[in-house]
C-alpha cells in the first residue's frame, strides 16, 4: 500500500500532523498500537508552565524564550512558534473540541488532588481560575459518584481549604450507574461516561441542582465523567444544571483524554486518512539515506510505502524509546539517540527533582529529520515527546512541544513537495 506520508504513532502528534497533511491534499496513513499518552490527558494542554526553579510561569511565551538552545522550542524558533500557535485552537474546534485559554497568559486548572496547575488551554467545562490563591468560587459543594474509585473528594476539599474555600461533600447515585457497581473494576470514569447519556443526563442534572440548592453552595464540583464520545452530553449537563457547575478531571483513564483521542481520530478519518488501530511498526527498509517502506505486525509481508514518514511514537511510556541497563535506544529503526552514556546520571533518587532521562530522545537536524548511524534520514521527521532536549514533565510543556513540532513536520513536508513540484517541467507530469 502506497501513501504520500505514513505516520508511526496515532496519538496527539501523529493525529495533528496527519490532519494537517490531509487538509493539504496528501494521502496519509497512521499506525497506532492502541492507547497513547493522550488517553491520560487531564483536560489541559500546557505550553510552558514552570520555570527551571520550579516557579509557576504566568506568560508562557516569555518562558519559551528562556529555554536552552537544544530545546525543541529553541530549534523551532520563536517567530515560527508565533506563526503556528494560532492554528491550534481552530484545528481542535474542527474536531469538536472547545478549548479556553491564550498563549500569552496561563490560567490554573484544578487537579484531582486539589492543587492548581498552570495551563495554556483547557477543555470546556473544567474548573479553572486566573488566581489560584483566590479562585472566587465562594462555598463549594463537591459531588462524587457513589462507588467511584478514581476521584477523591477529601483531597479536593483539603486543597481548596488552603485558599479559604469551605466545602461540603455529597455522593450521587443513579440506577444506570449502580449497574456498573456489580463489578468494582467497572466503576471507572470512561465506563460511567458511557452510561450518562440521554435521559440519564437530565436526571443527574436535576439531582445536582437539588443538592446545590440544599447545600447553599455557590459552586458545584463533580468528576469529569460526562461526554466520552463528544462534547454534546457535557454541554447538555451544564445547560440543565441550575447551578455554577464545574468539572474536575479524574485519575487516568480520563474522559477528556479519551474524548480528544476519539474526536481527532474521527476528523482524521473524515478527511480521508487511514488509521491502522491495534497495529505496530516492526521494521523498515532503507535505500541510502531514505526510508522507503515500513512493515507492521498485522500486515505481515505487505509494506506501507511512502515518500515521507513521521515518527511520532512517543517516549518511554509509549515505547518510542527503550532502555537496557547500559543504553537508551530507539527500537524500530536503530536511530541515533541523545542520551547520557553515564548510566548513574540517568535518574536521581529524589523523585521530585528533575530526572535527566526525561530529556533523552532521538537526534535530529534543524528540520527535525532523524539520524541513523550518523547520517540524516532525509524523509523521516520526528515530532512530539520522542524528541530530545526538553523535560516536559518538569517544564509542563509537553502538549505545546507535541502540537508545534507536529504542525512543523506537516508544513516542512508540504513545503518540500511544493518546491519539488515547482521545479518540474510540464513534460515530467506525463
Number of alpha carbons in the 13 Å side-chain half-sphere of residue 242? 10
122: in domain: no
Q: Of the residues 222, 248, 274, which one is the last residue of a structural domain?
A: 248
Q: What is the mean pLDDT of the chain?
A: 91
Q: Same domain, yes or no, for 36 and 70?
A: yes
Crossing angle for the helix pair 12-23 and 398-423, nearest 10 degrees? 30
CA distance 333 to 321: 11
The residue length of the chain stands at 430
Q: Can you give the pLDDT at residue 429?
A: 33
Give mean pLDDT, residues 378-395: 94
Q: Same domain, yes or no, for 342 and 244?
A: no
Beta bridge partners, 375, equal 372
Q: Can you give the pLDDT at residue 422?
A: 53
Per the CB < 8 A criterion, the answer to whether 75 and 366 are in contact is: yes
**26-61 burial code (b ≥16 CB/10 A, e <16):** bbbbbbbbebbbbbebbbbbbbbbbeeeeeebeebb
Per the CB < 8 A criterion, the answer to whether 171 and 143 are in contact is: yes
Q: Can you give the pLDDT at residue 47?
A: 97
Q: Is 368 helix (H, G, I), strand (E, B) or coil?
A: coil
Q: Of the residues 190, 220, 248, which one is the last residue of a structural domain?
A: 248
CA distance 381 to 108: 33
Domain residue limits at 276: 2-97+259-429
408: in domain: yes
**CA 240 to each of CA 96, 221, 252, 364: distance values in angstroms, whole numbers, following the listed order:** 21, 15, 27, 51
Q: Same domain, yes or no, for 198 and 319?
A: no
Q: What burial class does residue 133 get, using C-beta atoms within 10 Å of its C-beta: 0-12 exposed, 13-18 middle, 19+ buried?
A: exposed
Q: Which three cell numbers stand for residue 86?
A: 494560532
Q: Same domain, yes or no, for 348 and 423?
A: yes
Reported as a single tens digit per residue, the pLDDT across 401-426 is 999 999 999 999 998 776 565 554 44
CA distance 404 to 76: 8
Query: Does residue 283 surpass a pLDDT of 50?
Result: yes
Beta bridge partners, 183, equal none
Query: Among candidates 224, 225, 165, which has minimal Cα distance to 194?
Result: 225
DSSP code per residue over 205-243: HHHHHHHHHHHT-SEEEEES-S-SS-SHHHHHHHHH-SS
Confidence label for 3 from pLDDT (cuts 50, 70 and 90): very high
- Judged by phi (left if over 0) then psi (alpha if -120 to 50, else beta), residue 43 lies in left
CA distance 384 to 267: 20
Q: Can you give the pLDDT at residue 428?
A: 40
Overall number of domains in the chain: 2
Q: CA torsion angle for 331, 337, 340, 346 (degrees, to 10)?
A: -40
Q: Same domain, yes or no, for 161 and 24?
A: no
Per the CB < 8 A criterion, the answer to whether 44 and 122 are in contact is: yes
121: in domain: no
Query: Among candidates 347, 321, 324, 351, which has minimal Cα distance to 334?
Result: 321
Reported as a single tens digit per residue, the pLDDT across 209-242 is 999 999 999 999 999 999 999 999 999 999 999 9
350: in domain: yes
346: in domain: yes
Give mean pLDDT, residues 131-142: 94
Q: Can you give the pLDDT at residue 424?
A: 46
CA distance 55 to 284: 43
CATH code: domain of residue 298? 3.50.50.60
43: in domain: yes
Q: Which three cell numbers stand for residue 368?
A: 527535525
CATH code: domain of residue 200? 3.40.50
103: in domain: no
85: in domain: yes
Q: Same domain, yes or no, for 79 and 133?
A: no
Q: Same domain, yes or no, for 69 and 91?
A: yes
0.75 exceeded by pTM? yes
Q: Is 128 helix (H, G, I), strand (E, B) or coil?
A: strand
Residue identified by cell 478527511 is 271
Per the CB < 8 A criterion, the answer to whether 382 and 370 are in contact is: yes
Q: Same domain, yes or no, for 197 and 239?
A: yes
DSSP code per residue over 238-307: HHH-SS-EEEE--SSSPHHHHHHHHHHHHHHHHTT-EEEET--EEEEEEETTEEEEEEETTTTT--EEEE
Beta bridge partners, 6, equal 29, 309
Reported as a single tens digit per residue, the pLDDT across 13-66 is 999 999 999 999 999 999 998 777 777 888 899 999 999 888 999 999 999 998
CA distance 96 to 256: 12
Q: Can you give the pLDDT at residue 17?
A: 98
Query: Does residue 179 surpass a pLDDT of 50?
Result: yes
Q: Can you give the pLDDT at residue 262?
A: 94
Reported as a single tens digit per residue, the pLDDT across 64-116 is 998 989 999 999 999 999 999 999 999 999 999 999 999 999 999 999 889 99
Q: Same domain, yes or no, for 170 and 223?
A: yes
Q: Which residue has the higher pLDDT, 375 or 151?
A: 375
Q: Of the residues 218, 248, 278, which one is the last residue of a structural domain?
A: 248
Q: Which three cell numbers stand for residue 174?
A: 443513579
Q: Same domain, yes or no, for 241 and 322?
A: no
CA distance 118 to 57: 7
Q: Which residue has the higher pLDDT, 208 or 357?
A: 208
pLDDT more than 90, % of the chain: 76
Q: Same domain, yes or no, for 282 and 422?
A: yes
Q: Can you give the pLDDT at residue 88?
A: 97
Give mean pLDDT, residues 193-210: 94
Sign of the CA dihedral running 59, 61, 62, 68: positive
Query: Does residue 173 surpass a pLDDT of 50?
Result: yes
Q: Same domain, yes or no, for 164 and 57?
A: no
Reported as a single tens digit per residue, the pLDDT across 287-329 is 999 999 999 999 999 999 999 999 999 998 888 999 998 889 9
Confidence label for 161 from pLDDT (cuts 50, 70 and 90): very high
Give mean pLDDT, residues 364-390: 96
Q: Can you give the pLDDT at residue 423?
A: 52
Amino acid at each position: 500500500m502506497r501513501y504520500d506520508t505514513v505516520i508511526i504513532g496515532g496519538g496527539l502528534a501523529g493525529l495533528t500532523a496527519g490532519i494537517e497533511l490531509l487538509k493539504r491534499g496528501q494521502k496519509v496513513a497512521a499506525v497506532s498500537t492502541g492507547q497513547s499518552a493522550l488517553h491520560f490527558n487531564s483536560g489541559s494542554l500546557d505550553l510552558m508552565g514552570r520555570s527551571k526553579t520550579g516557579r509557576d510561569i504566568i506568560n508562557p511565551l516569555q518562558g519559551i524564550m528562556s529555554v536552552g538552545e537544544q530545546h525543541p522550542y529553541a530549534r523551532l524558533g520563536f517567530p515560527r512558534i508565533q506563526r503556528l500557535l494560532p492554528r491550534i485552537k481552530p484545528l481542535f474546534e474542527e474536531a469538536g473540541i472547545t478549548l479556553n485559554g491564550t498563549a500569552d497568559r496561563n490560567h490554573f486548572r484544578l487537579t484531582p488532588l486539589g492543587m492548581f496547575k498552570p495551563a495554556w488551554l483547557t477543555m470546556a467545562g473544567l474548573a479553572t481560575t486566573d488566581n489560584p490563591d483566590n479562585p472566587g468560587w465562594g462555598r463549594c459543594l463537591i459531588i462524587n459518584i457513589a462507588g467511584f474509585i478514581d476521584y477523591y473528594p477529601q483531597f479536593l476539599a483539603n486543597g481548596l481549604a488552603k485558599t479559604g474555600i469551605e466545602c461540603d461533600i455529597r455522593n450521587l447515585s443513579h440506577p444506570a450507574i449502580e449497574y456498573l457497581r456489580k463489578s468494582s473494576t467497572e466503576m471507572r470514569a470512561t465506563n460511567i461516561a458511557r452510561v450518562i447519556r440521554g435521559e440519564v443526563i437530565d436526571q443527574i442534572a436535576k439531582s445536582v441542582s437539588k443538592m446545590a440548592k440544599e447545600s447553599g453552595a455557590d459552586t458545584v464540583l463533580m468528576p469529569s465523567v460526562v461526554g466520552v464520545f463528544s462534547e454534546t452530553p457535557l454541554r447538555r449537563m451544564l445547560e440543565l444544571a441550575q447551578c455554577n457547575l464545574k468539572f474536575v478531571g479524574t485519575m487516568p483513564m480520563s474522559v477528556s483524554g479519551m474524548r480528544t483521542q476519539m474526536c481527532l481520530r474521527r476528523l482524521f478519518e473524515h478527511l480521508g486518512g487511514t488509521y491502522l488501530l491495534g497495529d505496530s511498526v516492526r521494521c523498515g527498509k532503507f535505500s541510502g539515506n531514505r526510508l522507503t517502506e515500513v512493515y507492521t505486525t498485522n500486515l505481515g509481508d505487505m509494506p506501507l510505502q511512502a515518500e515521507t514518514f513521521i515518527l511520532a511514537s512517543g517516549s518511554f511510556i509509549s515505547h518510542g524509546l527503550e532502555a537496557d541497563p547500559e543504553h537508551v535506544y530507539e527500537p524500530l529503526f536503530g536511530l541515533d539517540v541523545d542520551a547520557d552514556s553515564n548510566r548513574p546520571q540517568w535518574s536521581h533518587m529524589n523523585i521530585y527533582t528533575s530526572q535527566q532521562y526525561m530529556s533523552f530522545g532521538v537526534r535530529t537536524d534543524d528540520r527535525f529529520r532523524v539520524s541513523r548511524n550518523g547520517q540524516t534520514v532525509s524523509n523521516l521527521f520526528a515530532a512530539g515527546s520522542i524528541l530530545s532536549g526538553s523535560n516536559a514533565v518538569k517544564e509542563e510543556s509537553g502538549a505545546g512541544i507535541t502540537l508545534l513540532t507536529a504542525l512543523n513536520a506537516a508544513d516542512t513536508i508540504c513545503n518540500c513537495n511544493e518546491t519539488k513540484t515547482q521545479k518540474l517541467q510540464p513534460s515530467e507530469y506525463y
